Structure 1
Amino acid sequence: MQQAPPQTAAQPSTPAKQPVSQGTTGAEPKPPAPAALAKVADIPAGGGVILKEQSLVLTKDASGKVCAFSAICTHQGCVVTDVGDGTINCPCHGSKFDASTGERVAGPAKSPLPAVAVEQRDGAIFQA
């Protein structure tokens, strides 16, 4: 009969090496601050700017109040391209929306542009 090899005492396992962090204080790092959508000064009074990447339109009335709306027309989903004469204008079928409320004022769209919550601080506009 064959004998089983002699049992040896289990070797203590060595702990995995932990990465050494340098210069940490133990506090979690802060996430980066959100980027401003636009500077208030860059939005013309009585007009607006279209932010295609965010699908937003920012408007500013004569008193300096900034509003934000979806830049997607509620008629067939085209992106609005112009703000002028108090309206946000869609180039596809001629829908027009009130620049201060987003309400439909002309064209085939039946619904207003949805409002988007924004806040103004330090001379810039941020999504809320």
Structure 2
Amino acid sequence: MLNPNVVVKNLSEQPQINAVISLVARILMAYIFIVAGWGKITAYTATAGYMESMGVPAALLPVTILVELGGGLALLFGFQARFAALGLAVFSLITAFLFHGGADDAINFMKNLAMTGGLFFLMLHGAGKFSLDHMIENN
């Protein structure tokens, strides 16, 4: 009998397929952080005001930009990806509660929780073959 789980497992264990899926997963995870970090740069004053309105000091905005944009780029290129994923996971979890904890923003709260789970998974399994981490570790 055909077991779809076994079929997907067998496909994902093919080295080239595994490498491509890892790359695509990293790109998809990085995208939201790169866009968000860049958006905070281009709307710096508005973002600082929003942070203040949520009880978060605007002085933390440069750190927020560094975490989002820097962490997103690290994921994209697979550089120190486990560390970047851990940092972004913690960041996503904290921001879920600080900015999306209300009942009227449940979807963004759940989005942050889902991203946290994906980032923890990336932290455990690493960046994959098509990454700077792989190049550095194998030289």
Where on the TM-score scale, by shorter chain, does this alignment land: which range? Answer: under 0.3
The structure with the largest alpha-carbon Rg is 1
TM-score (norm 1): 0.25
Identify, as 1 or 2, the structure richer in helix. 2
Identify, as 1 or 2, the structure richer in strand. 1
Q: Which has the higher contact order (CA 8 A, sep 6+)?
A: 2
TM-score (norm 2): 0.24
